[in-house]
Chains A and B, each alone.
Chain A
Amino acid sequence: MNLRAIRYSRPWRVFIAGFFKENAVAYQLLGLCSVLAVSNKLENSLAMGAGVTFVVTISSTLIALLRRLIPDQYRMITYMIVTSTFVIIVDQVLKALFPPVSAQLGPYVGLIITNCIVMGRQEAFAIKNGAWLSFLDGLGSALSYTYTLIFLAVIREVLGFGTLLGFKVTPAGFENWVVITMAQGAWFLLAIFYWVFRRAARLRPVAEEA
């Protein structure tokens, strides 16, 4: 298959839609809590991004495989049980291998269960499509979440702590910008990201609400 054929194939379009144009954070407005809360350090963001990617891809694939067996009225509870099981795995792995990161993330690992990206992709895509496409769809959305997280974390850690992954990167005499590491700074930075992203992706402006 040449490059052109790949670009116009269904799996590629499914993946790239989630990855760029329908950015989980700026377009679908999903998963905001954890984006704002853990993006103050790059280390935490990488752990969180990896955890969410694992949970979204695996649970979307599983839901797609089980989609004919799930009764319609019990969809939500099925999503939650499947998701919580994988979140428990992520939590245990983090606790065992990276105890400091696990301590810093605290409740936000458990909150992957209610991270809207997970249920959003299951409800919007996995319940209606095959396993391979659902895997790609989940991967695209999860990676868009991850790069948003990394983008915010790099800015916040460098400006707020003067470090990157724990190493000092700013020159001596640099005054740490404390507000950017706090919730308040996160809001403004995400608003700027949202603005720039929507302009860059040429999304239609949101209609003025009444």
Chain B
Amino acid sequence: MTLHPLVILIAAVFTHNIALTYLIGLCPMLAMSRRVDVAVGMGVAVTFVLALTAPLNWAIYHFVLLPTHSEVVAFLVFIIVIASAVQLVEMLTARFFPALHSSFGVFLPLITVNCAILAVSLFMALRDYTFWQTVTFAIGSGLGWGLATAIIAGIRERLALVGDVPADLRGAGITMVIAGILALAFIGFSGMVSVQ
């Protein structure tokens, strides 16, 4: 892998969006896309946690797990690092930035089980990213996830005004259709940068 980190950043936001192309982080995407402000808040929180945990996991993977040939326990180590990092961020923001905590702190506990966080660490290990590639990939994935969720939330807000959805398709069902159409639209970005 000799891709420039910036190429990876753009790819992660647009052409290889983690939610729309890799289909990761969908449960929170369906749950959080009711309102735009909530979606944006969650997107910021996810980006922040990703930018923190992915480089941390990169360091542990390359300096501890690989030299000791214990890649087998990588899953276990990654998830513990993520859970503790999220806990730590929550405590620190509650203590030192109460205003910030009250606006996006509510999203933090939910983030541990957001599979996008773990997925970025797993992709990082699978694809042998360098440190800077990992950093830009993490930030790009967070922004891409937030972008997709915010767009879907915007469409759902408008759709709720019309309210003409078949009864059995309401809620999650129509959100899936919206996400599908959005994913089709994102095909338009393909070819902008090429990875793999």
Contact = CB atoms under 8 A, between A and B. Distances in A.
Interface string B21-54: 1111111001000100000000000000000000
A60 B78 CA distance: 22
Contact of A208 (B23, B113, B163): B163
Contacts of A85: 76
A190 interface: yes
A111 B27 contact: no
A205 B168 contact: yes
Interface in A61-95: 76-77, 80-81, 84-85, 87-88, 91-92
A9 interface: no
Interface in A153-210: 183-188, 190-191, 194-195, 198-199, 203, 205-210
Which of B73, B172, B174 has most A Cβ within 10 Å? B172
A17 interface: no
Contacts of B123: 107
A52 interface: no
Contacts of A210: 160
A106 interface: yes
A187 B169 CA distance: 13
Interface stretch (A26-34, A42-50, A124-132, A138-146): A26-34
Contacts of A110: 75, 78, 118-119, 122
Given A84-B76, A187-B177, A33 B113 contact: no
A37 interface: yes
Contact of A88 (B73, B118, B172, B180): B73
B98 interface: no
Interface in A90-145: 91-92, 106-107, 110-111, 113-116, 119
Contacts of B168: 195, 198-199, 203, 205
A36 interface: yes
A86 B118 CA distance: 16
Contacts of A186: 23, 180
Given A85-B76, A106-B126, A184-B180, A195 B173 contact: yes
A12 B122 CA distance: 38
Given A37-B24, A186-B23, A206-B172, A81 B166 contact: no
Interface of A: 29-33, 36-37, 76-77, 80-81, 84-85, 87-88, 91-92, 106-107, 110-111, 113-116, 119, 183-188, 190-191, 194-195, 198-199, 203, 205-210
